[in-house]
Structure 1
């Protein structure tokens, strides 16, 4: 059986027979009509036989991976951001934002390639850029560069602004569990004003496993 979390830019795939995980660019997915057995994500309905809502998959995946009964989990994708908050083992709140989080992950990846930046070698800046979303934040970067800041400093301030937006959207918790490919970006994870625990790219796939009964746990 093939499980898939198919976002805007990347597809996360799991073969339940072999237990293997794969990361594939959405543009490289086969166009011959082959579909995952179960799918979630922005493009999940397009490529999946059966679909599970992204927030449901995120909540179930978080509860399966996190031992604490109370936690806040933020998922940062290419296109949007989502969060779920548990209290005493039950979902207390959740939210989805494709405006303040618009094209966040995609924009960060685009800037990294365009300016040829190594986020692992960059320091978290003391101040952030006042931005509202990934797309609109690009103009703030250009303005900062025109006013004398280096490209790397302007992008670092942009990333910190994006992180602060996500932190506030999730309710400003003391500890934040983070899901998504941006877990691999140390500049991004270091820009949050709280303790960050990175869970990686596969959280929604874990939620799919719960949804189809591969993991037995009373979650929702």
Structure 2
């Protein structure tokens, strides 16, 4: 059985028939149009699968498998949206999915790194930030700052910190926040959160699918 998380920028696959083989990461643009998998989630999950699971459901089940706590908040930051699940007393208590205010957030952050030839692992967290509620619209802050004489690196760093703070507020301002998604590998982004942050990597939804497959099939 093949599981897949079809993201906007990257797709994650797991072949349950190969127990020793871990998840495979593939750029979405390289996915064959006639591809079919057994169980999927993600933006294009319905298109490529026999059985589909809602992303919030996959995120919640993945969190249950990876987080050994009764109360926590798990935030997933993707290329095109942000979503969270919150647990209290071991039960799902709240959830949220923001496409508009999280629009192209992860994609924009990745694009800016390439465009300005930056390395987020080397950029320090800035003291100041921009008020950013949308990845695309927020880029105007960068252009204005660069025009005023602020360096490109500093301007982008302020933008990334603004994105992180917006995501933090969306998740409910928790003292501890578990993070899912490719931005777990972005040092500038993860260090911009004003709370204890626990990165879980980009395969949390895939872990949720694995548990669902175990129960259903």
TM-score with structure 1 setting the length = 0.95
User: Deviation of residue 127 (structure 1)?
Assistant: 1.2
User: Deviation of residue 26 (structure 1)?
Assistant: 0.8
**Mapped partners of 1:151, 1:34: distance in 2:** 40
Alignment of 1:71-220 (within 5 A): 71-213=72-214
Q: Deviations over 1:166-209 (max 9, x none)?
A: 00000000000000000000000000000000000000011101
Two-structure CA RMSD over aligned residues (Å): 1.1
SS at match of 1:209: helix
Q: Deviations over 1:59-83 (max 9, x none)?
A: 0000110001110000000000000
TM-score with structure 2 setting the length = 0.97
* 2:27 counterpart residue number: 25
User: Deviation of residue 46 (structure 1)?
Assistant: 1.2
**Mapped partners of 1:34, 1:98: distance in 2:** 26
Moved over 3 A (4+): none
Q: Deviations over 1:86-128 (max 9, x none)?
A: 0011000000001111000000010000001011111000111
**Mapped partners of 1:145, 1:130: distance in 2:** 16
Say which is worse superposed, 156-165 or 122-131, in terms of deviation: 122-131
**Mapped partners of 1:110, 1:152: distance in 2:** 14
* 2:7 counterpart residue number: 7
Q: How many residues align?
A: 214
5+ unaligned residues in a row in structure 1: which ranges? Answer: 216-220
User: Deviation of residue 214 (structure 1)?
Assistant: 5.9
**Mapped partners of 1:40, 1:96: distance in 2:** 15
